Structure 1
């Protein structure tokens, strides 16, 4: 189940996975202290539940419906109104990886982007050293478009980025199957 992030209720659970080196290895955030996460999520821009204009980011909590346990969080970036473009990203606690939650949540974000915002194209960018994340995007219906070899100095080393994307038309065709 996806819901808005509650900065107080979710802080301990988010800290449990966002403070881990292995979880943050391939994503921009570095492992965060509890205090730093509390500071980040005090900003109402980080906990918005509706996107009203390009340039905004929607961050949502992922919880298990049966227990209400927070198991991850994800984002939808609305990059451009003119180009009708967006991007998805996600983090799932290691003990909950491999169960399809990231794929299911990503599909929900794709639906929001295409059906709710009228986007034309949504991308997902991963580090090549994280093939499990590539499988998530592929299962969500995205296709690999590019491999940008050592394109970014990232956390002290060169990183190769793999870009995935899906167009609105492709999304609609998949949903009609």
Structure 2
């Protein structure tokens, strides 16, 4: 069970539960085709973003196997919502989790996604006690693959044309890191 002590603070960020006040800023990046390109949903309308936000609000803790933790990433300096992180508790018996992330492109290239994702990995390993955390991305999604590499995750698989994705066959990378390999930021 994981009930994070919100807000989680990193040097530049606050990680916290989503609220309905996040709608405009979440929609600002969830509505972008370039953001949704490699996600399982298309660019969202405002109504679709509001529905997704309602789901995220109900995911502020992990109570049992199968739950999803959704965390808003806020830039401390300005209070802007810049990202959307997820930790999926995939298998309690085998200590498996999955990380997911969506960030506003205006904030890329500053190490903010890495900083936020490290905190989610810390929760998974140090608080929830996971053995292994993995992440998946479309093989064409170079920024996501590089982020997982910066987190110390290794590429474990390259599935060739493993699924029909948005009307075309798509390759998928799977990255993972074990608890014993995890090195929190200094």
Fold equivalence (TM over 0.5): yes
Check whether the contact 1:46–1:57 (CA below 8 A) recurs between aligned residues: no
Distance in 1 between the 2:84 and 2:64 partners?
Answer: 21
Computed over aligned residues only, the root mean square deviation of the Cα atoms, in angstroms, reads 1.5
What is the number of equivalent residue pairs in this alignment? Answer: 173
**Structure 2 partner of 1:145:** 156
Select which of 108, 116, 131 maps to 1:105.
116
Could you tell me how far apart the structure 1 residues matched to 2:18 and 2:54 are? Answer: 11
The TM-score with structure 1 as length reference comes to 0.93
SS of 2:124's partner is: helix
Matches within 5 A, 1:2-13: 2-6=15-19, 8-13=20-25
**Do 1:15 and 1:32's aligned partners in 2 also have CA atoms closer than 8 Å?**
yes
Gaps of 5+ in 2: 1-13
Calculate the TM-score normalised by the size of structure 2.
0.88
Q: How does 1:18-97 map to 2 (within 5 A)?
A: 18-43=30-55, 46-97=57-108
Q: Structure 2: how far apart are the matches of 1:175 and 1:91? A: 21
Unaligned runs of 5+ residues in structure 1 are: none
Tell me, yes or no, if the aligned pair for 2:61 and 2:69 is still in contact at 8 Å. yes
The 3 A distance-change label for structure 1 pair 13 and 176 is: closer
Deviant stretches of 4+, over 3 Å: none
Q: Secondary structure at the match of 2:21?
A: coil
CA-to-aligned-CA distance 1:3-32 (integer Å, 9 cap, x gap): 1111x2110111111011110001112111
